[in-house]
Amino acid sequence: MYHVTKLYAKGRQTVPAVRDLSLVIGDGEWLAVQGRTGHGKSTLLNLLGGLDRPTSGTIDFDGKNLTRLREDQVNRVRATSIGFIFQTFNLVPTLSAAENVEAALIPLRTRARDRHRRVAAALDSVGLGDRSRHLPSEMSGGQQQRVAIARALVKEPKVLLADEPTGNLDEDTRDEIIGLLESLWRERGLTLVLVTHDTAIAQRAQRVGVMSKGRLTIRDDSRQPATSVAQPAAPGAVQPTTTGAMQPASTDAVTDWPGPG
């Protein structure tokens, strides 16, 4: 994304949820985003996933400028390339685990035989192959989140966007879910952007950013120099050179850093 701003109207006021933010996320990278409630974390995730459109700026995904695509074209990108995981699971209570996962394939018009094969594989990958016929009410919170992860994976996406995926889970289940996500990220070469309030989770990511008043500051970066080189662009600024799944329209500026304070 390049110089992205998102404004919302609140009564007579205009509230900037994201301010002039530029960011590169490389293929196969894991970026964790932290910050206080109301400072733009979820808005950033929605912009990256094409669920919302910026007021200004450019969002480039896999060579496509999402800000210039028609809504049906953005829907197609989401349906084929981006998997979403939410804090509240967002499962349909009257559908079984398999049916909830299969729902993600409907926009792709996948043949029934192929759908069933992919659903079974997705549930197996999260350890729920034997729970395919269970309703959400018949599963624990951790199991429901595993179904939600399977639903995101069944599309075989390039990117996973996770908004507080462990926010409703106890500590032990939290560790299981994050361990699963980390394994899937490594095994499948996924690009993972994860929003969390939990510092213990964020520290497992390659990069950790903090959103404050709509601006993103990269706090930690453990990527290897071979895949990412940081070069000073201006006092207090950092300019990664990685190109990848989500990148700016120009490489002149890639991370917007707030000034002192």
pLDDT score of 169: 92
Q: Chunked in runs of 10, what are the mean pLDDT values of the chain (261 residues)?
A: 93 91 95 92 94 95 92 93 94 97 92 94 96 97 96 95 93 94 94 94 95 92 53 38 38 33 32
For residues 64 and 9, what is the distance between their CA atoms, to the nearest angstrom?
Answer: 28
The per-residue pLDDT for 227 is 39
Per-residue pLDDT, 243:
35
Structure tokens at 128: 């729920």
- Report the distance separating Cα 139 and Cα 142, nearest Å: 8
Query: Which residues contact residue 67 at a Cβ distance below 8 angstroms, ignoring those fewer than 6 apart?
Result: 53, 54, 57, 58, 59
- Judged by DSSP in three states, 32 sits in strand
Is 3.40.50.300 the CATH classification of the domain at 2-247? Answer: yes
The overall longest dimension of the chain from CA atoms, in Å, is 57
The answer to whether residues 239 and 258 touch, using CB atoms and an 8 Å cutoff, is no
Q: Which of 221, 185, 235 is nearest to 83 (CA)?
A: 185
Q: Which pLDDT belongs to residue 224?
A: 59
Query: What is the model's pLDDT at position 254?
Result: 32
**What count of other Cβ atoms lies within 10 Å of the Cβ of residue 5?**
15
Whole-prediction pTM value?
0.82
